[in-house]
């Protein structure tokens, strides 16, 4: 087969909201291949299962195995390759966890694992082998107590998983606990939901975040302009009403490793109210080596990008390295 089998029509969306979209996401490689009309031999199930929601699937070009969204979602035989230097904890987060569900690497800020659930599974995810069971929700109180006892921490980053996987009631309860910690002043929300399932950004969610005494900074994750459409625009413009709205992308071979793709991404983000923030070099997690772009090529791409874009649309090329007090700018 040539990778372009008969196109299977995409079924209509579920009648209900974001939670139903999440429950209806595809979870097997062969289901994903069939849904977008590509050869099922391109996929291979792995210990890190597929999670592909329909709102994002509808932006895939049917029958195209090189589609930049499909390549981020489809588990492949390449993930089983053992490559030296790639392991289960590429950022040494286990060594930077003073309490369950809490990661404290950088001065003045800490990251809270609010949940292990996501809106989708990115195949290059640096937490694809993260021990979420050891950081379960029942241990969040230990993390909150550690925060109460750390007056030097002023910014809390909600991550996971994806914190917007929590329903409004659970998220509001967590926000109330954080707001009660007097030395916290900034809430940074790291989420892919506005891209994967834009319906999650509801008026009720925005109202609760807007009511917080904490300064809200939203950071989304978009790697390719094709991930953005009219639905993401509505969600992102809602988040932009809360405060700064930034994007973190990962430089990925075969997905966005061209100056044309990176320029289009920055311009598409800006059109939806988002400023480029970081362009990350790949974290060396086991199973993702086929996405790596070497540093020399990454620097060359960014130099070309600088000649095409105004400074406010240039993301900073960076790598996160275990044990360092800050990200390494390349």
**CATH number of domain containing 239:** 3.20.20.70
Domain ranges, residue 209: 93-329
281 located within any domain: yes
Asked, for residue 55, whether it belongs to a domain, the answer is yes
For residue 2, tell me if it sits in a domain: no
Q: Are residues 99 and 73 in the same domain?
A: no
Q: Per the domain annotation, does 86 fall within a domain?
A: no
Q: Are residues 52 and 126 in the same domain?
A: no
Q: Say if CB 108 and CB 152 are below 8 A apart.
A: yes
> Which pTM was predicted?
0.92
Considering the domain boundaries, does residue 13 fall inside one? Answer: no
Same domain, 44 and 129: no
pLDDT tens, N- to C-terminus, the chain (330 residues): 444 445 444 554 444 589 999 999 999 999 999 999 999 999 998 889 999 999 999 999 999 999 999 999 999 999 999 999 999 998 888 888 889 899 999 999 999 999 999 999 999 999 998 887 765 555 788 999 999 999 999 999 999 899 999 999 999 999 999 999 999 999 999 999 999 999 999 999 999 999 999 999 999 999 999 999 999 999 999 999 999 999 999 999 999 999 999 999 999 999 999 999 999 999 999 999 999 999 999 999 999 999 999 999 999 999 998 888 788 898
Question: Which of the listed residues 57, 80, 103 is the one where a domain comes to its end?
Answer: 80
Residues 97 and 35 in one domain: no
Residues 111 and 73 in one domain: no
Rounded to an integer, what distance in angstroms lies between the CA atom of residue 61 and that of residue 37?
9
Q: Which residue, of 56, 80, 104, is where some domain finishes?
A: 80
pLDDT at position 5, please?
41
Q: Which residue among 31, 49, 80 closes a domain?
A: 80
Q: What is the pLDDT at residue 201?
A: 97
Residues 72/128, Cβ–Cβ less than 8 Å: no
Residue 286 shares a structural domain with residue 195? yes
Residue 27 within a domain: yes
Q: In this predicted structure, what is the pLDDT of residue 9?
A: 42
Q: Are residues 41 and 153 located together in one domain of the fold?
A: no
Q: What per-residue confidence (pLDDT) applies to 4?
A: 44
Give dist(CA 325, CA 24) in Å, integer. 41
Total tally of structural domains belonging to the chain = 2
Query: Do 120 and 52 share a structural domain?
Result: no
Q: Are residues 111 and 200 in the same domain?
A: yes
Same domain, 247 and 159: yes
Q: Are residues 201 and 112 in the same domain?
A: yes
- Residue 200: partners with Cβ closer than 8 Å, 6 or more residues away: 18, 119, 164, 193, 194, 235
Cα→Cα distances 7→1, 41, 44, 91, 279, Å:
14, 15, 20, 40, 34
Nearest to 206 by CA among 241, 178, 158: 241
Distance CA 135, CA 250 (A): 25
Does 277 map to a domain? yes
pLDDT of residue 264: 98
In a domain, 120, yes or no: yes
Specify whether 126 is located in the same domain as 55: no
């Amino acid at each position: 087969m040539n990778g372009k089998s008969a196109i299977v029509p995409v079924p209509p969306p579920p009648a209900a909201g974001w939670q139903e979209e999440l429950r209806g996401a595809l979870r097997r490689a062969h289901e994903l291949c069939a849904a977008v009309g590509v050869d099922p031999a391109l996929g291979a199930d792995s210990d890190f299962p597929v999670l592909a929601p329909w709102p994002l699937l509808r932006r895939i070009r049917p029958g195209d195995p090189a589609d930049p969204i499909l390549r981020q979602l489809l588990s492949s035989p390449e993930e089983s390759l053992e490559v030296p230097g790639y392991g289960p904890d590429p950022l040494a987060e286990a060594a930077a966890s003073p309490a369950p569900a809490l990661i404290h690497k950088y001065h003045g800020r800490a990251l809270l694992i609010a949940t292990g659930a996501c809106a989708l599974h990115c195949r290059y995810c640096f937490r694809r082998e993260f021990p979420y069971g050891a950081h379960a929700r029942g241990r969040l109180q230990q993390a909150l107590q550690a925060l109460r006892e750390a007056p030097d921490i002023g910014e809390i980053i909600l991550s996971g998983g994806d914190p917007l996987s929590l329903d409004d009631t659970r998220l509001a309860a967590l926000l109330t606990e954080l707001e009660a910690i007097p030395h916290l002043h900034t809430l940074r929300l790291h989420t892919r939901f506005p891209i994967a399932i834009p319906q999650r950004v509801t008026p009720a969610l925005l109202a609760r975040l807007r009511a917080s005494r904490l300064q809200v900074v939203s950071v989304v994750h978009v790697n390719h302009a094709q991930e953005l459409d009219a639905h993401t625009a509505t969600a992102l413009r809602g988040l932009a009403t809360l405060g700064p709205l930034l994007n973190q992308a990962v430089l990925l071979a075969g997905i966005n490793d061209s100056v044309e793709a990176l320029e289009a991404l920055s311009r598409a983000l800006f059109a939806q109210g988002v400023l480029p923030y970081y362009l990350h070099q790949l974290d060396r997690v086991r199973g993702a080596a086929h996405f790596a772009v070497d540093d020399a090529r990454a620097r060359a791409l960014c130099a070309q990008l600088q000649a095409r874009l105004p400074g406010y649309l240039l993301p900073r090329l960076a790598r996160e390295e275990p044990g360092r007090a800050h990200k390494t700018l390349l």
